Structure 1
Amino acid sequence: MKLWGGRFEKDTDKLLEEFNASIDVDARMYEQDIKGSIAHAMTLHKAGILSDDELKEIVDGLNGILNDIKEGKVEFTKENEDIHMNIEALLTSRIGEAGKKLHTARSRNDQVALDLRLYMRDEIKGIIELLKSMVNTLLDIAEDNVDTLMPGYTHLQRAQPITLAHHMLAYCSMFLRDIGRLEDCVKRMNFSPLGSGALAGTTYNLDREYTAQLLGFDGVTPNSLDAVSDRDHGIEFLSAAAIIMMHLSRFCEELVLWNSKEFSFIEMDDSFATGSSMMPQKKNPDAAELIRGKTGRVYGDLIALLTLMKGLPLAYNKDMQEDKEAIFDGIDTLKACIRVFDGMMKTIKFNKDNMRNSAKYGYMNATDMADYLVKKGMPFRKAHEVVGKVVKKALDDRCALEDLSIDTLRSFSDLFEDDIYEVLDLYKCVQSRSVIGGPAKEMVHMTINEFRKALT
């Protein structure tokens, strides 16, 4: 008989039993469910609902079930629908009447709301640690490449010279913001819904603050209707996850381009690349491409949960059982992508000469030439025009700006002197940009140190 079957005269149709069950999805929350049940039992004991002996029976029974699940000795059933009823049924079968008292002053509505918050809190903390490890990998690369010149791009056109370190720090900035978003998400979800019952609280004198304290929450939810029907924390997490995946995807897009023969900025390690079943020469950046592809999957998880919640009246509705598939998939996909990306970045080989040559022949010191003329007294718009003509001359002669003779440069403006060649040196172009946030070596080292501190 179902734990809720007292008012029913017929058994559940097998089709509905299969359709209704969520144990295949929510079984992963067994540890959080048991942890929450132990805290609830302790609160019931504090309220005088459970005796000392009953509390001990329940806690020992739940801990025994936890150990058996971890050792693979427990088989869940769809007859008991979900993880909550499976564990309660197991407990009652093991300890008898005391087990039947555990669900006093509790509904599966506030129970699942609790379990999901506990589970997500644990998982998000783990994701934050994965992101920190990945950012440290990028900072290591930056630290090793403060002098590695490369082109900076706008519109995927060579624009101004930067360093590989500066490029890495751009993504570190993104991922540090992502860590902040996840931390904020935990702050807003870290309130205990237990004691909200099905929707209207309970008539029992439960100390909800005590339960929250036992479970490491910052407080309790202030409204029982909202507590059991709120999935903002899931939506907020998936929003943050989608942004993280977008950042990973942008980076992977660049890696795919850089790995091509047309760029040849990097070479993927064999351990993070694959071959072709037909073309023997191929070495494909599949790890980066898969991360880029899985970004759409996490976007889909977010849209699925938003769509699920958009038309639901208060309070709990069975539709909300579908929330966990999107949340769990988002968690699993994000964790896998971060791990693979981190491993890929640890093994990438950077072709520094190709990066420098690409910077040299991209005329990216043209802005510095214009600034040189401005500092000599020429209006910027005039300087822009003059340098544009100089670039055209260099293009026609198939040479770099610094390869043009001083006589050739002076044919465009008398303001050019021999000191222009020092200005056009690519490394000095980078070093001259020493504002906070710029690519100059001193600024890059400062930013690396700040980011290292932020991670700790």
Structure 2
Amino acid sequence: MALWGGRFSETPADAVFALSRSVHFDWRLAPYDLRSSLAHLAVLQSSGLLEDSVAEPIRGALNELISEVAAGRFVANETDEDVHSALERGLTEKLGAIGGSLRAGRSRNDQVATDLRLYAIDHMIEVAQQILALQSALIAKASEYGDAPAPGFTHLQHAQPVLFGHEIAKHVQGFSRDLDRIHDWLDRALVSPLGSGALAGSSLPLSPEVTAKNLGFTSSAANSIDGVSDRDFVAEALFTLSMVGIHLSRIGEEWCIWATTEFGWAKVADAYSTGSSIMPQKKNPDMAELARGKAGRLVGNLTGVLTMLKGLPFAYNRDLQEDKEPLFDSIDTVLLVLPAVTGMVATTDFDREKMALAAPLGFSLATEIADYLVQAKVPFAHAHEAAGKCVAMCEASGRQLHQLTDEEFASIHPSLKGDVRDVLTVHGALESRTTVGGTSPSSFKQQIKESTAITAAYSKEFTDKAKAFSEMMGA
């Protein structure tokens, strides 16, 4: 039964109902709708708008529906327009006409805004916990290879030697920023729209601030029009999920490269690989490729919602029905990809010997010559030019930098002495990068120590938040 048909003489045309109907995707809001209904019922009862003789049967029926929805015994049917009408149908089937009493003082406008916030909060906390699991896997893998030299790359070309653990650990930093974003997002998302009504609040003696506290929000909407029309929290969540996807995509791209025959660095575990239906020898890093591919979907969902939101006038508009499916899809996608990538990272083995042999290739130690000259008080511009000439001489003669003679070094720059060879080693290059965030063993150990502490702190925070939210939902 429609919640709005009193002034209409005709029922909606089939095409109108089909276009308007949202229960096939918004049904997942049912647990949150029922919990917000309990909070709304408490205010209606405490304010005297509903007698105990009416409120208590409704409370009992809502609790029955919570169990039935969770068990799949109560579901939406083909005549339900949305999750709200489906659940009101459930109440009226149990209680008769008094089941409609709960609608007093609220609109589907503030109802759905509240439900969607609760859903988003619940699932963004879950996303954070899955990110933390991946961070732990990355920290463990980085620590495992914290003593393994490898070439570092810019422009996909050999640049300077790095510890391979340092290369892996960079991903921890990206996901830490994602956790920061979720942490900050929660502060803005924890504002309750319930009590805003259709757009103007209510003339009934409701207490939105009490309802907000009951539902675990930190405040109620300061402006009722904004309360029902604001979807910044959806757009921000989609941006954060897109960034998570982009960070996952970077991991995917690197794993794909490292697993090629040309590189041969990564041995991806069989459990996280797939084969070919025609080529029996193939072992494909499909989890890495799927992580890379899903990022486009996440960015697309963000773009779709931002485009839908731009220019919406005044209060609620039906365009906002389009906020849910992109959010649901992005959350589902990220929660699908994160465990697979976590497992892939944790179970991949890397070839230390190949990485070490590749570390000095491509004249990756040329910067050491420039730094040597700077230590000799040569302006860096001149030092850079001299190092470049050393490279050019080696390329012309098919040699490596350390194979140049003392006379050749001196011919390039008088400050280049034979002892420059002492710095033309991978070990020396790594040991010298002792600045904060650098790739030296000492800097790397400090980086891992700090990352481990940050991850532990966020793990406690999001575990506590998940527990609090679960308790609120079970209240």
What TM bracket, shorter-length normalisation? over 0.9
Contact 1:17 1:79 in 2 (8 A): no
Once the two structures are overlaid, the 10-residue window that deviates more, 275-284 or 358-367, is: 275-284
Tell me the distance in 1 between the aligned counterparts of 2:121 and 2:205.
28
Distance of 1:91 and 1:398 partners within structure 2: 83
Distance 1:51 1:185 in 2: 39
Once the two structures are superposed, the pairs formed by residues 9-408 of structure 1 within 5 Å of their partners are 9-406=9-406
Matched, 1:421 2:411: no
Query: What's the CA shift string for 1:230-281, capped at 9, x where partnerless?
Result: 1111011111111221222122212211111222221222222222222222
Please, which moves more after superposition, 13-22 or 286-295? 13-22
Q: Distance in 2 between matches of 1:168 and 1:55?
A: 57
Deviation at 1:446, TM superposition (A): 1.1
CA displacement at 1:422 relative to structure 2: 2.7
Task: Tell me the CA shift for residue 302 of structure 1.
Answer: 0.8
- State the 1:15 CA deviation: 2.7
Q: Contact conserved, 1:394 with 1:400, CA < 8 A, in 2?
A: yes
Q: Which amino acid aligns with 1:251?
A: I
Query: Residue by residue, what CA displacement relative to the aligned partner does 1:401-425 show, whole Å, maximum 9, x if unpaired?
Result: 2344556545545544453333122
Measured against aligned partners, the alpha-carbon deviations of 1:419-445 in whole angstroms (never above 9, x if no partner) come to 333312212211111111111111111
Q: How far off its partner does 1:395 sit?
A: 3.1
Query: How big is the alpha-carbon RMSD for the aligned residues of Structure 1 and Structure 2?
Result: 1.7
Q: CA deviation at 1:373?
A: 2.5
Deviation at 1:185, TM superposition (A): 1.4
Q: CA deviation at 1:396?
A: 4.1
Amino acid at match of 2:217: F
Q: What SS class does the counterpart of residue 162 from structure 2 fall into?
A: strand
Task: Note the alpha carbon deviations across 1:332-361, whole angstroms, 9 max, x for none.
Answer: 111112122111111111112111111122
1:84-111 Cα distance to aligned partner (Å, 9 max, x none): 1111110121023432211110100000
Output the CA distance in 2 between the equivalents of 1:396 and 1:36. Answer: 75
Question: 1:321, CA displacement in angstroms?
Answer: 1.0
Structure-2 change in CA distance of 1:433 and 1:222 (3 Å): same
Q: Is the 8 A contact 1:105 1:202 kept in 2?
A: yes
1:388 and 1:75 map into 2 onto residues whose CA distance is 71
Any idea what the Cα deviations from partners look like across 1:366-385, whole Å, max 9, x if unmatched?
A: 11122112323433333333
What SS does the corresponding residue of 2:343 show, helix, strand or coil? helix
In structure 2, do the counterparts of structure 1 residues 267 and 204 end up closer, same or farther at CA, with 3 Å as the change threshold? same
Q: Which amino acid is the alignment partner of residue 31 of structure 1?
A: P
Identify which range, 30-39 or 381-390, moves more after superposition.
381-390
Instruction: Report deviation, 1:129.
Output: 0.6
Specify every segment of 5 or more residues in structure 2 that has no aligned partner in the other structure, as ranges. Answer: 458-475
Amino acid at match of 1:255: W
Task: State the SS of the aligned residue for 1:274.
Answer: coil
SS at match of 2:33: helix
Q: In 1, Cα distance between the equivalents of 2:151 and 2:67?
A: 56
With structure 1 as the length reference, what TM-score do the two structures score? 0.95
TM-score (norm 2): 0.92
Could you report, residue by residue, the CA deviation over 1:278-317 in whole angstroms, capped at 9, with x for unpaired residues? 2222222211111111111111111111111113211111
- 4+ residue runs over 6 A deviation: none
Give the match for residue 472 of structure 2.
Answer: none
Deviates more, 1:14-23 or 1:425-434: 14-23
Per-residue deviation, 1:392: 2.9
Deviations 1:138-165 (A, max 9, x none): 1111111221111111221111111112
Instruction: Report which stretch shifted further, 348-357 or 128-137.
Output: 348-357
Residue 2 of structure 2 contacts residue 85 of structure 2 at CA under 8 Å; is this kept in 1?
no
Deviations 1:34-71 (A, max 9, x none): 10000000011111112233332122211111111121
Query: Secondary structure in 2 aligned to 1:439?
Result: coil
Q: How many residues align?
A: 456
